[in-house]
Structure 1
Amino acid sequence: MLFQLKIAEEKDLGRLTDFIEKAGLSSEGLDSIIDYFVMLEDGNHEVVACIGVEPLNTHGLLRSLVVSDKLKQAHIVTLFQSIQTLAEKKGISSLYLVTNKEASVHFLGLMGFNQIESDVIPDEMLTLDHMSGSLEDPNAMIMVKSS
């Protein structure tokens, strides 16, 4: 099956919101950062994966990673590479993420992310609702990649 990678635009807001919410994630604030999202569409222009960055100065928080079961690991790698390139183009030098899945840590490590302790997160990052909410999970692990 053929897939197309693209940076989300305003016209994609409705279907991207639906895709994220169907996965049980919050789409709050998506409208103001739509151009910080990368999405993957299938041949029928259906969204099959997405990931975004919530920017804050030169930092960014990866959020809303949703991946259809139709995809292979190579597609996910491409998605991560694309969001990192987009973040760099927008002047973001450090990408943070929070995961509660131990199995993700190895994959994310291969993508260049390093696990860090919560006390080294820049204070300004803690002002993001998505970051502070994610850290309430006792299994939360924080990772960062700096360019």
Structure 2
Amino acid sequence: MFYQLKVAEEKDLARLLDFVERAGLSSSGIELMVDYFVMMENGEREVVACIGVEPAEDVGLLRSLVVSDTLQQAHILTLFQSIQTLAEQKGLKQLFLVTNKEASVQFLQLMGFTETNPEQIPKHLLTNEHIQSSMKEENTKIMVKSS
């Protein structure tokens, strides 16, 4: 199967929102930062994966990772590399993410993310709605990668 990566544009917004919402994730705010999202499409131009970075001054928070079960780990790796490149192009110096899935920690470490604690998160990012709600979940880990 052929897959193509692209930075989302305004014309992709409806498809992106639909894909994220069908996965049961919040699409709140995506319309304000659509160009901070990377999408993967199949040969029929159907969205099969996406990830975004929510900017906060010179750092970003990875969010809305949705991956179709048809993709292999190599595709997910490419998706992560693409969002990191986009974040660098947008001038973001660090990327943060919140996960409560132990299985993903090892993969994220291979991608260069390291576990950190809440005291290391910039104060302006701590007010982020996603971080606030995610930190209430059990086994939450905060990870960071510097560019």
Q: How does 1:80-119 map to 2 (within 5 A)?
A: 80-119=80-119
Task: Give the TM-score of the pair, scaled to structure 1.
Answer: 0.98
Q: What is the aligned partner in structure 2 of residue 136 from structure 1?
A: 136
Equivalent pairs, count: 147
Q: Deviations over 1:72-117 (max 9, x none)?
A: 0000000000000000000001000000000100000000000011
Find the aligned partners of 2:33 and 2:140 in 1 and give their Cα distance: 24
Task: Kindly report structure 1 stretches of 4+ aligned residues shifted beyond 2 Å.
Answer: none
Q: How does 1:1-147 map to 2 (within 5 A)?
A: 1-147=1-147
Find the aligned partners of 1:94 and 1:45 in 2 and give their Cα distance: 31
Task: Give the TM-score of the pair, scaled to structure 2.
Answer: 0.98
Q: Give the superposed CA RMSD.
A: 0.6
Matched residue type, 2:132: S
Structure 1 regions of 5+ residues with no counterpart?
A: none
2:24 is paired with a residue whose SS is: coil
Matched residue type, 1:96: F
1:78 is paired with a residue whose SS is: helix
Find the aligned partners of 1:144 and 1:126 in 2 and give their Cα distance: 13
Shift of 1:138: 2.2
2:2 is paired with a residue whose SS is: coil
